[in-house]
Amino acid sequence: MTGWLAAALSIFALVVVLAAIHVPFGDYMARVYSSTHHSRLERVTYRVVGVDPDADQRWPVYLRSVLIFSVLSVVALYAMLRLAPMLPLANGKDAMLPMQSLNTAISFVTNTNWQSYSGESLGYLVQMAGLAVQNFWSAAVGMAVVVALIRGLARTNTDRLGNFWVDLVRGVYRILLPIAFVFAVVLMVFGVIQNFSDTTVATLGGGEQLLPGGPVASQEAIKDLGTNGGGFFNANSAHPFENPTPLTNLIEILLLLAIPFSLPRTFGRMVGQVRQGFAILATMTILWAISVSLTVAAENAHAGVALQAAGAATEGKELRFGVPMSAVFGASTTLTSTGSVNSMHDSYTPFGGGMLIFNMGLGEVAPGGVGSGLYGMLVLAIVTVFISGLMVGRTPEYLGKKLGARQIKLASLYILVTPTLALVGTGIAMATEAGRSSMLNSGPHGLSEVLYAFTSASNNNGSAFAGLSANTDFYNIGLAVAMFLGRFLPIIFVLALAGSLASQAKVPETDGTLPTHRPQFVGLLAVVTVVLAGLVYLPALALGPIAEGLS
């Protein structure tokens, strides 16, 4: 009972803090992206890069900037991973193999942070200047894209969406870096390590064991704040050097939810209708609360002699966190495209593990990744308005913008990308010996391992069931393709949608305009999200975790 009381108090504290920061943090981010002032450091950065910070870009130019920056980032990170032994602070580590390097480079640039390697196998400089730097840049790219979409909804009769380079730099300099610095110090205070040395300790058996160290706190802060998820150690946030206490566990959950749950306020401020932001926030909150509740309930069901003896599904979970807060972490990380884990998802009950897969299948919009969650939810809001318009025989409008064939086609393509990649990838893996040979388990659970991997990669999540041996050429290449297309195809459709909306003039509200800030719309948006984004996976879930749970 004490453990459950502590978990309840922790969840209550988490909700209170998120509610307290929503308005000031959301307003601050709105000011960051609306300001016309450039700091001295920002101007120096623009001069080095060679861009005009006052140039407003058309959506194709904005998109090209995103793609060029991301491709160059992949190349730079790939080179760093291949040349790792020649770099300072290599710590005696070998270079990563070519296909694994490609997978890892794409993984961190796409904000996925899927790891088919042990975190301890990399040198300190690669961790800091390679992986941690991409944690900042990839998160800032997602935030820049959602800001461009918001401008598309707010602006009229223009083909301009802002300047990608300004949005990128401000996201890093004014938002991510300061907060990550503060919380890196906070995590250090509460026990997360930050050093450049390994430690030799005496074991209980009288021997010695080498415990790897490293600059962990600085990477831990941005991995959660930017909804990245790559662990410094193989055990990720279950490792005591990354997440030593229940308090640091709660701080890390707060970090991965802070920006996604505050961005709806930024949206409301930038479009000039705060209540629209609250409607989006309410939808995200409802879906998050339902998911957390179902995941915790599934892990507490503990059917079976062994689980009943333990009192809950404790396998694969750290006792210092307990079952409830492990489940809260698991649900939150799969709903935010973070991929950071404090427990072994492969050890979850069938229905608990199935819920985590379903979370990613939603498109991770509740509240979703940094930036990507909000633009995913706004696309679903546009589809919801369109469906409602069909019901009453009226041309649908959202925030004064008419939604015609072009807008709905782009929104539909956005929604179809990730399930197509996840399900096709899973099908190919199950149909080939190269895909099946890496499965630790056969039957429904083996299918769940593969389905989880491709769903995680396609939705840029990065967590894994870990029962799948993914460090093979088949999975390194297949998952790299899923990560790359799962990140950039949706961005293409979002920016094209933003451009088409910005070019319109606003139409006045009439008696037939659907109010998109009321509880009815919140409920309808939640239903559309579950039906359109989530139930696409139902046949695969039925063959995997549902079949296993019913057996």
Residue 522 lies in a domain: yes
Helix (H) or strand (E) holding 156: none
> Which has the higher per-residue pLDDT, 514 or 432?
432
Mean pLDDT across the stretch 305-319? 67
For the chain, the domain total comes to 1
Say yes or no to pLDDT of 532 above 70. yes
Contact of 303 with 286, CB cutoff 8 Å: no
Residue 57 in tokens: 């870009």
pLDDT band at 2 (very low <50, low <70, confident <90, very high): low
- H or E, element range at 209: strand 208-211
What mean pLDDT do residues 238-251 have? Answer: 95
Beta strand 397-398 with 401-402: parallel, antiparallel or unpaired?
antiparallel
120 pLDDT higher than 90: no
CA distance 435 to 450: 8
End-to-end CA distance of the chain: 30
Q: Cβ of 286: how many Cβ atoms within 10 Å? A: 16
CB 118 within 8 A of CB 86: no
Q: Which of 13-17, 38-42, 110-114, 465-469 shows the lowest mean pLDDT across its residues?
A: 465-469
What's residue 111's pLDDT? 94
- Is 208 inside a domain boundary? no
Domain membership of residue 227 (yes or no) is no
**Residue 472 falls inside a structural domain:** yes
Q: Using the predicted structure, report yes or no on whether residue 429 has a pLDDT greater than 70.
A: yes
- Is it the case that residue 309 has pLDDT exceeding 60? no
Measured CA to CA in angstroms, residue 401 lies from 105, 158, 453, 497, 510 at distances of 39, 13, 38, 12, 13
| Own/partner long-range contacts of 214-217 (Cβ < 8 Å, ≥24 apart) | 214/124, 214/127, 215/124, 215/127, 215/128, 215/132, 216/192, 216/241, 216/242, 217/184, 217/185, 217/187, 217/188, 217/192, 217/193
What residue spans of 235-349 are helical by DSSP H?
Answer: 246-271, 274-301, 305-310, 322-335
Query: 367: cis peptide before it, omega within 30°?
Result: yes
Position 229 scores a pLDDT of: 86
1, pLDDT greater than 50: no
Q: Using the predicted structure, report yes or no on whether residue 172 has a pLDDT greater than 70.
A: yes
Question: Alpha helix locations (H) across 127-163?
Answer: 133-154
Res 412 pLDDT > 80: yes
Residues 380 and 101: their CA atoms lie apart, in Å, by 35
Question: What's the pLDDT score for residue 124?
Answer: 92
**pLDDT value, residue 302:** 60
Distance CA 314, CA 327 (A): 11
The answer to whether residues 147 and 375 touch, using CB atoms and an 8 Å cutoff, is no
Question: Is 339 inside any structural domain?
Answer: no
Express each pLDDT in 66-79 by its tens digit.
999 999 999 999 99
92 pLDDT above the threshold of 50:
yes
SS3 160: strand
CB-CB neighbours of 342 under 10 Å = 25
Are the C-beta atoms of 277 and 313 separated by less than 8 Å? no
Instruction: Give the phi and the psi of residue 530 in degrees, each rounded to 5.
Output: -65, -45
Tell whether 302 is covered by a domain: no
> Are the CB atoms for 393 and 512 separated by under 8 Å?
no
The per-residue pLDDT for 371 is 92
What pTM was computed for the model? 0.94
Residue type, 143: M
Mean pLDDT throughout 118-124? Answer: 85
| Mean pLDDT calculated for residue range 399-409 | 93
- Amino acid occupying residue 19: A
- The pLDDT mean for the chain works out to 91
Band (307; pLDDT cuts 50, 70, 90): low
d(CA 492, CA 162): 16
Q: How far is CA 103 from the centre of its chain?
A: 17
Q: Hey, what are 248's tokens? A: 């640091």
CA 232/CA 242 separation, integer angstroms: 8
In a domain, 188, yes or no: no
Identify the band that residue 311 occupies on the pLDDT scale cut at 50, 70 and 90.
low
Please tell me the predicted confidence (pLDDT) of residue 349: 85
| φ, ψ for residue 211, nearest 5 deg | -105, 115
Q: What is the pLDDT of residues 349-401, one digit of tens each?
A: 888 888 998 888 887 789 999 999 999 999 999 999 998 887 776 778 999 99
Between 266 and 90, name the one with better pLDDT. 266
Instruction: Evaluate whether residue 491 is within a structural domain.
Output: yes
% pLDDT > 90, the chain: 69
Task: Show the domain range for 500.
Answer: 360-550
